[in-house]
């Protein structure tokens, strides 16, 4: 039985370290024997979760803007983004909740449905490029990730995507 392994990244306020995180995350997964295809899937998911997390305001003084965790389990890889948020983010969090609940609710019957709904909404409203719903639906549909989020009592947003693999993770 494989032991769980993790790598954590801390983004400081104002830093643009996404490419460095992608490189180190890719190296971590490759060092654990994952194929280029599986690494690419996880980097797409990781990139989208970081991008989604960055959209939330953080007016609190904090050592880190965001923490990113890449965790390997027996049959899954988990990407989790954690970020302090405040009251000004509550309406955005409500929208995130509606988006993820829609993807989860519709996704189990037909994961393509929320994806096409979001495609239509983004296409019809190009002035308002709030493509987060589209991008989250895309990683749920195209990459097969299960999305979730919660806000802890101390106002830390935790946004995660779990990518389950049938059989061996490394193939």
Q: Six-digit token pair at 80?
A: 């989790």
Across the range 142-166, mean pLDDT stands at 89
- pLDDT per position as a tens digit, 28-49: 999 998 999 999 999 999 988 9
Average pLDDT in the chain = 78
What are the start-end ranges of the H helices in the chain? 18-31, 36-54, 90-107, 112-124, 132-141
Task: For the domain covering 5-164, report its CATH number.
Answer: 3.30.565.10
CA pair distance 134, 100, nearest whole angstrom: 11
- pLDDT per position as a tens digit, 50-102: 888 888 766 555 556 789 999 998 889 999 999 888 878 888 888 888 888 87
* CA-wise closest residue to 136 among 147, 128, 152, 120: 147
DSSP code at position 171: -
pTM of the model: 0.78
């Amino acid at each position: 039985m494989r032991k769980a392994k993790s790598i954590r990244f801390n983004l400081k306020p104002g830093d643009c370290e996404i490419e460095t995180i992608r490189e180190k995350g890719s190296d971590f997964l490759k060092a654990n024997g994952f194929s280029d295809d599986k690494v690419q899937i996880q980097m797409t998911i990781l990139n989208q979760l970081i991008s989604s997390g960055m959209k939330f305001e953080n007016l609190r003084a904090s050592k880190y803007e965001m923490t990113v965790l890449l965790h390997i389990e027996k049959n899954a890889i988990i990407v989790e983004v954690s970020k302090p948020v405040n009251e000004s983010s509550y309406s955005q969090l409500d929208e995130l909740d509606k988006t993820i609940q829609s993807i989860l609710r519709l996704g189990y019957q037909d994961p393509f449905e929320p994806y096409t709904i979001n495609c239509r909404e983004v296409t019809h409203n190009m002035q308002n490029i709030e493509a987060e719903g589209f991008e989250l639906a895309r990683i749920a549909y195209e990459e097969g990730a299960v999305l979730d989020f919660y806000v802890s009592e101390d106002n830390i947003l935790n946004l995660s995507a779990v990518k389950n693999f049938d059989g061996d993770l490394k193939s």
